[in-house]
Structures are given as structure tokens and as C-alpha cells.
Structure 1
Amino acid sequence: MKRRKLSRRDILQGSIALAAGTVFASPARAQAPEPVAVTPALVEAAKKEGKLIFYSSIDLPVGEKLGKAFEAAFPGITIQIERSGSERLFQRIDQEFASNIRAADIINSSDASHFISWKKNGWLMPFVPEDVAKHFPENYRDPDGLFATSRVWLSSIAYNTNLVKPEDAPKSFADLLDPRWAGKMVKGHPAYSGTIMTATFQMVRELGWEYMEKLAKQRVMQVQSSTDPPKKLSLGERAVMADGNEYGIVLLKEAGQPVEPVYPTEGTPTISGPTGIFKTAPHPNAAKLFQAWLHTRETQQFFVDFTAQYSIHAQVQSKPGRRKISDIKLMKEDAEGVEKMTEEIKTRYARLFRV
């Protein structure tokens, strides 16, 4: 049998899939609903509703640009974006459902474990966009068709090039424990940010709580969102970023800011951002239209080009000049593991870092 030559895309997907592991593990493969394409009938039904309420952890400038693109593609439908850290959004959804408030149509979280909980609660609507069925690996979509991964990104180390020489910059998580970085680092908080929650889980799994205990003694500046450390770094308020989103560093560097990402030798934490529709969505057709549009090749390419994040849509290409995820050593994702350890991480982290 003739062996098929592996393409660059095959290698990229293999790299991400390896890091993903069993992100959305399921005891048995269920029968997902039939894939749905963007049709005139769906567009018309969505326009009759005229509105979409999107809960999201996506950076507000990105979310707003995404919303404007959706409104331009489908005139007559307005999108209202409710942006917050994923852990706060998770609490908000719990509170709203407990109070019988059904405000959200659709949600994107940077903590994939949230969708495991929402699925168990029966809160999500089955809906499979055609592109997801055709072009997304199985381990990046729910087997019951309740959600799919809309974006993938990393949580890396980084440094300010005005304050740190390349030869002196940390190369690993272990290097962050060097006394020279005491009082010079910034990092996000897992009780607010889904990115940091996921990254903290992976770091604890690989390095142990002992590592976190030592890092906590380094007088680290604590901020909330994973979007904050890159900003603090570029402003020169801290020399080194202990965690935070890598794409923020990439975008700042491309804009001429004095920052440089570092991919730790132990591996870089990997984060998935799924999106799903609530079964009680006030505007279900608009939500379906947005979910289908969000996962098309065109919109996924927008994510890659505009946000410096990664897509697992098979037809999306990397932007020239950026480092490929296939060239980076990644830590393995495990959404079920995060779900089991969430409360422990919040409690122990708060005690160690006194925040």
C-alpha cells in the first residue's frame, strides 16, 4: 500500500491532538444530531429574533470585532457581548439558573471543564455546525453535539526585552524560582481566569504543589485575567510574566512592544475554548446561526490572523511569520481533571499566594 505523505496541516493537528489527549472524554460515543449548515431559512429565523446575547471570556476588543463581523454578515441581528473571566462567568451562569434567569443564548469559556458541568446539568442544546462535523477532530467536539472547540491558545512565560537580556531570560518554569526574579514577576489568578485555572492544573500535575509553594515566595504581582500579565510586561511594570496568554505577547511584539515569549522546557500549558448554546436560549435561531458561522473556515481564519490564537479547523492556515504550534512542546490538556481539581486549586492557590 502506498504511504500518504504527511502535510504540514497533518503535523499541526497531530501536535494539538497529542496535547489535547482526551479533552472531552465520553464513556460511550452517542449519536450526535445531524450537522447544520448556514441556510437562508436559518438566517431568516435568526433575523426575526433580531438579537443574540453572547457570554464570553474572549478579550473584549476581539469579541467586539467578532461581533461587528457577525452583524455585518447578517444585517438586522445585533449581538450583545457579556465579557468576564471564565470562572466568574461560570458562577454567574450558576446564579442565573438558580434564580430562573435565562439571559444567555451562547457561551464561550476558556475553561473547558465548565462544559462538562453544564452538560451534566442538561443545560446545553445539541447543535452541530457543518464545518465542525467535517473539519474538526473528534477530541475537540462533544460526542453528543453539545459544544465544540472554537479556539486553542497557550499560556507561556515571557519577558520585557528592555529589562531582561535574552541570555539572562528564564527558559523554564524552574528558572522562575531563581532569587533574581523575586518581586519582578506578574501572573494571573485561577479563581478569575479559565486560562490560568487550566494552566495551573497542568503545572501542578507536572511540577507538583511544591513548585507553587516556592513560586509563591517570589513576591509575585497578582492580577486577574490572563490578558493582564502581557500588558503589565509591556508597560515595564514587571520584568517577567510567570503565566498569561501567549497570544497577547505575540500581538504586542508584532506591534513593536518590548516583549518576548518563552516556551518553557517543561512544556507550555495548552488551553481550549469551547462554545455551546444553552437549551433555554431566548434567541435560539440566532444562537445556532452564530455557532455555525463561528466555526466556518473564514471565521476561524479570522481568529488565527487577528488574535494570534490557533484553530483546529482542518482548512485554516497558520499566519506566515508566526511560530507554529507544532514546533512547541506542549503540556497535555485534561478538562475532566480540571473539573475534579477546581475547588482544590482555588483554595490552595489563595492560601499560598495570599490572594
Structure 2
Amino acid sequence: MIMRRRTLLGAAALLPFGARIVSAAPPAETITPALIEAAKKEGKVSYYTAMDLSVAEPMAKAFEAKFPGIKVAVERTGAERLFNRLAQETASNIKRCDVVNSSDAAHFITWKREGWLQPYVTVDIAENVAPEMRDPDGAFANQRTHLSPMAYNIGLVKPEDAPKAFNDLLDPKYAGKLVKGHPGYSGTIMTATQQVARELGWGYFEKLAKQKVMQVQSATEPPKKLEAGERAVAVDGSDYLFWMARERGVPIEVVYPVEGTPLISNPMAVFKAAPNPNAARLLFAWIMSGEGQEFIVNLSGQYPANLKVKAKAGRPPLSSIKTLREDPVEVEKTADEIKAKYARIFKV
């Protein structure tokens, strides 16, 4: 079963972030001894995510160390595959997902409309997450923010020859040297594709497809292809993985295109059919806490949702980067069209 994304009816309650309506969110809660005890009795929690395993698994281990006796099962796949998987499991009455996190914010519009999300608000969310970064009804909140920039391997491209804009990638000198992710698999790339197509037009992708681009699935793969030296320039990808590679000594340079860099929010929610509801709320609450947010930031350098947590030292402030406007509502309307156009243009 593949869930088709239906056009919104225009109801304000379906807007993902910052909707100006009367809130129906439940009262904000804290992590209490009673919640911890109930979660330990369940003993496990499943975390469905599109975040790379190099971050998701250490985060799960940190949670397990914080709350001994609760095991975290990380289910990682591309966000668009995750979307279809949850549709298939729900249609088959399979209840496995406790907490879901996607790099395609549009998914949460659909899931909220379908009634699949359990509203849950923590004190950290209510007090320290900006209103535009959380659902007004408490159905979900942004867990973290990352970008989808360009990048290049300094060992394969001289800085003076490196691209500075998306349109620079159309230069014949980059033919056969590019790698990019696919919007049919990756939520990051789905979101980025919508933004770039809106700004530059689909004609840009038609020209880019003539550059003999290596097509991979996940936004986590272009950084790895650059690191391995299989391609010289990444058209897109998850910025935190480029930065993590740099910290390991890989000669990668991150490029924020002059046209603007796609911005990707990554909402998270408790699934209403969660088989481990107490452990689900505990994991959700811990990830959104200062401690959980600092762990993600310190490990990967992604930008925190919790306003009390500072960005990682050495990363450019998000406010200093020209970013493209994220539009989950438009992605929700046009996702199937985006996938079809992209597959036709790149013949994948």
C-alpha cells in the first residue's frame, strides 16, 4: 500500500507550524518518576526515523544509559520509505511504531489528519520551542533542523574551481563528477527539490540531468560518496554529515549556494497506536529536553529546536545563512507530482 497525499482542504488546523488558531494542545507535562517507572515496565521503545544511524544509534544508547532497563529499537530508513511503511503497517493493523521522526515535515500534516498522532506537549516544548516550530494542537514538534547544501571534495576540486551556486553545476566541467539524492526515497531531498524547483524552475533539473549525475537514494549518501572519492561534488545532502566528515579529517568543503540553501525541519511525534505509550512519551520528552537536544547538537552539529540549547561551536549560525523557505503544505499537495517529474527527468 502506498499512501497518496491528498490535497488539503484548507482547514487551519492542518497547518504544520505556526497556525493562527485557538490551541487544542494538552497541558504541558514533565518527566516524572511515575512516567519513568511505567516506561521501565514496558521495557522497550521503537524509534522510527530518517536520521542517519551515526547519530540515531548513539542517541538511543544515551537514552538507554539515562534510563536503564528501557531498550530503544532504532528503525532507520529514508523518510519517503518511512511514510509508506507506516501506511502499510497501519493498514495491516501492525502496531510497532512508538515515536516517529521524519525529514519531510509534510508527513505530519497527513498523519495528523488521519488521526495517527497522539498529542503530547512537554514543558520544554511549551517554554523553549518557538510557536512556528510546533503544532498548535500539540500533535508534533520540530526535533532538529538541518540544511541541504552543496559540497565538494577538496582533493578532487580546487577551491578556485568550486561551484558557488546551483547554476554553476550546469558547467560542462562538472559532468560526471556530481552526486545527488532522490526525492522518492529521502524526505530531505523531497523538501529540497520542492524549494529549488520553486526558485529555479524544473528547467534547472532538466539541464542538471544532462550532467551524468550519480543518483543515490538517501540524503545521507552524497556525503559518503564524497568521502570515498567516488564523486567530486555533491548537489545536495544532509549538511551535518558533511560537517561530521570534516571533523574526521575528510577534505570536504560545504557550500551554501548563492541562490539560497534548502532548509529542512525534522518534526517528531508520539504515534497514537504506540505499543509502548509510556516509553514513547519518555523518549520524546528526553529528546526534546535540553539534555537530549545538546546530545544531538554536540554529536552532529544539527541546529537545535530547543531555544535554550546553543548551536555547535564551529558551525555557521543558522541566521547567517541565506536559506530557502520551507513549505510543508505545498510539499503535501505536490509530493506525488514532484516524484513523477523527477523520475521522468532523471530517468530513475
TM-score normalised according to structure 2 size: 0.94
Shift of 1:320: 2.0
1:308 maps to amino acid: G
Q: 1:120 and 2:113 equivalent?
A: yes
Show the counterpart of 2:185: 192
Show the counterpart of 2:37: 44
Q: 1:231 and 2:224 equivalent?
A: yes
Q: 1:293 and 2:286 equivalent?
A: yes
Show the counterpart of 1:302: 295
RMSD of the TM alignment (CA)? 1.1
Show the counterpart of 2:252: 259
Q: 1:111 and 2:107 equivalent?
A: no
Cα distance between partner residues in 2 of 1:27 and 1:328: 27
2:328 maps to amino acid: A
The 5 Å alignment of 1:274-353 reads 274-353=267-346
Show the counterpart of 2:4: none
- Call closer, same or farther: CA 1:71–1:291 in 2, change over 3 Å: same
1:236 maps to amino acid: G
1:61 maps to amino acid: S
Given that residues 150 and 294 in structure 1 are in contact (C-alpha distance below 8 angstroms), is that contact kept between their aligned partners in structure 2?
Answer: yes
Q: Deviations over 1:29-62 (max 9, x none)?
A: 3221000101101101111111101111111121
Show the counterpart of 1:241: 234
The 5 Å alignment of 1:8-87 reads 24-26=17-19, 28-87=21-80
Larger mean CA deviation between 233-242 and 24-33 belongs to: 24-33
Given that residues 23 and 333 in structure 1 are in contact (C-alpha distance below 8 angstroms), is that contact kept between their aligned partners in structure 2?
Answer: no
The DSSP-based 3-state class of the residue aligned with 1:159 is strand
Cα distance between partner residues in 2 of 1:29 and 1:258: 50
Cα distance between partner residues in 1 of 2:22 and 2:102: 23
Cα distance between partner residues in 2 of 1:260 and 1:303: 22
Cα distance between partner residues in 2 of 1:233 and 1:347: 27
Cα distance between partner residues in 2 of 1:342 and 1:25: 21
Cα distance between partner residues in 2 of 1:339 and 1:27: 19
Show the counterpart of 1:203: 196
- Corresponding residue to 1:151 among 131, 144, 147: 144
2:271 maps to amino acid: F
Given that residues 263 and 323 in structure 2 are in contact (C-alpha distance below 8 angstroms), is that contact kept between their aligned partners in structure 1?
Answer: yes
Cα distance between partner residues in 2 of 1:321 and 1:86: 28
Shift of 1:82: 0.8
Shift of 1:318: 2.1
Cα distance between partner residues in 1 of 2:211 and 2:258: 20
Query: Which ranges of structure 2 fall in alignment gaps of 5 or more residues?
Result: 1-14
Q: Deviations over 1:117-146 (max 9, x none)?
A: 000000100100110000000110010101
Q: Deviations over 1:176-205 (max 9, x none)?
A: 111111111000010000000000010011
Shift of 1:235: 1.4
Cα distance between partner residues in 1 of 2:186 and 2:43: 31
Cα distance between partner residues in 1 of 2:24 and 2:223: 42
The DSSP-based 3-state class of the residue aligned with 1:269 is strand
Given that residues 18 and 133 in structure 2 are in contact (C-alpha distance below 8 angstroms), is that contact kept between their aligned partners in structure 1?
Answer: no
Show the counterpart of 1:4: none
Given that residues 230 and 244 in structure 1 are in contact (C-alpha distance below 8 angstroms), is that contact kept between their aligned partners in structure 2?
Answer: yes
Show the counterpart of 1:272: 265
Cα distance between partner residues in 1 of 2:347 and 2:128: 44
Cα distance between partner residues in 2 of 1:104 and 1:217: 41
Cα distance between partner residues in 2 of 1:156 and 1:264: 7
Cα distance between partner residues in 2 of 1:62 and 1:160: 22
Cα distance between partner residues in 2 of 1:250 and 1:71: 26
Show the counterpart of 1:14: none
Q: Deviations over 1:290-330 (max 9, x none)?
A: 11111011111111110111013111112222221111100
Given that residues 24 and 336 in structure 1 are in contact (C-alpha distance below 8 angstroms), is that contact kept between their aligned partners in structure 2?
Answer: no
Cα distance between partner residues in 2 of 1:201 and 1:175: 19
1:58 maps to amino acid: M
Q: 1:89 and 2:82 equivalent?
A: yes
Given that residues 183 and 190 in structure 2 are in contact (C-alpha distance below 8 angstroms), is that contact kept between their aligned partners in structure 1?
Answer: yes
Q: 1:167 and 2:160 equivalent?
A: yes
